[in-house]
Structures are given as structure tokens and as C-alpha cells.
Amino acid sequence: MEGFEYKLDDLDLKILREMEGNGRQSVSDLARTLGTSRAHASRRLQRLLDRRVTRIAAFTNPYVLGYRVFALIGIRVVPSEIHITADRVGTLANVHLVAITAGRNDILIWTMFRSQAELSFFLGRGLGTIPGITSVETMIILQTRKMSFSYLMAAEAESKGNRGGTGEGGSHSVFQGSEVDIDQSDLRILKE
């Protein structure tokens, strides 16, 4: 979202902070916490959603869906093909993040697989079929220590001079190794 600017006021920040803490809360509860009317809170939240300042999303535990192998993959590309290659890589089902980068790699992707065999197939029959790629470096993630989508808390900590963080708050478990039973009804809900 390069170049995106939106001037946030104090109420916007309070709404974002509340929604980061509990995105499932009702607008009535949000209004009560903010000390404003339900109609006003609803309008302001809707404005933030409409202008793509925020969105409300569910994050599914990948382990429940059978994913066991997570990998960051650095890709080097023919310089004139970086953007088209990034777009092509982004169409592959196991790819969940595509970033054009500066440094040793031109593109960095985050991927998930059910097995190492699936990763191997992806490297040969997925990435291997995309023209313009000159080399690939696969880094299998052994353990995830932090994965946070709480950008507001990070920005507030930085503005208070806490650039390194304390390790408290703002982090959400990545569910690594969680054992949860789901049935077909659960899968249908997740797909909706």
C-alpha cells in the first residue's frame, strides 16, 4: 500500500486500538467503550473500513488445515522481469506473501505446505515453471517466535521511544503445533 495516506484523528485511533484488541466486539460495545453513540461509532468504523484504513478478518490456524511446513523463499530474477515474475509467483496457491525486496534476493515469498514432498513439488513444478527466475533460496521455518498483526501497538511503542519492544502485548500466537479437531461444518464456515 505504498503512498497511501489518511489523517487519523483521536477517535479513529481509539476505534483502531479497540478493534485490534477485539475485532469481534459489537458496535454497541465499541460505542460504550469510546463514550459515544452507537450511530456515531458505526459511521466512524464504517468510514475506516470504506477507506481501507482497516479491515476485520479472521485468521485460521494453519495447523488445523494440515499445514506443517512453512518456508520463506528468496528468489533472484532477471532484472527486467522482477514485477511480472512477482505477479506470476503471486498466483501460486501456496504463496501467502510476495514482496519485491532490495538486497540479495529480488523477491521474497512466504509459503505453507502440508509436507516436505509438497514443498519439493512446488519448487520444481510451481516456481520451476516461471520464466525469469535465475535462483531460489529456500529457508524452512523451524519455529515461529512472533507473528503480529497489531501495527497500531507497534507504532505507539515506537512513538514512546520503545523501538525494540518489551515482548509484551501486541503479539498473537501463531498456533504452532496446536491440535484442534475440526469437522466438515467447521471447514465450510472457514471457507465462507
For 3-42, write each residue's pLDDT tens digit.
567 889 999 999 999 999 899 999 999 999 999 999 999 9
- Asked whether the predicted pLDDT for residue 65 surpasses 50, the reply is yes
Q: Which residues of 163-177 are buried (b: 16+ CB within 10 A; e: fewer)?
A: eeeeeeebeeebbee
**pLDDT tens readout for residues 47-60:** 999 999 999 988 88
pLDDT exceeding 90 applies to what percent of the chain? 67
Average pLDDT of the chain, as a whole number: 86
Nearest to 56 by CA among 18, 99, 10, 109: 18
Taking the C-alpha atoms of residue 79 and residue 86, their distance in angstroms, rounded to an integer, is: 12
- Asked whether the predicted pLDDT for residue 98 surpasses 80, the reply is yes
Nearest to 109 by CA among 123, 97, 92, 121: 97
Q: Which residue has cell 467447521?
A: 186
Question: What pTM did the predictor assign?
Answer: 0.73
Hey, what's the cell of 101?
A: 525486496
Lowest mean pLDDT among 48-62, 97-111, 119-133: 48-62
Domains of the chain (ranges plus CATH)? Answer: 10-50 (1.10.10.10), 69-140 (3.30.70.920)
pLDDT for residue 140: 98
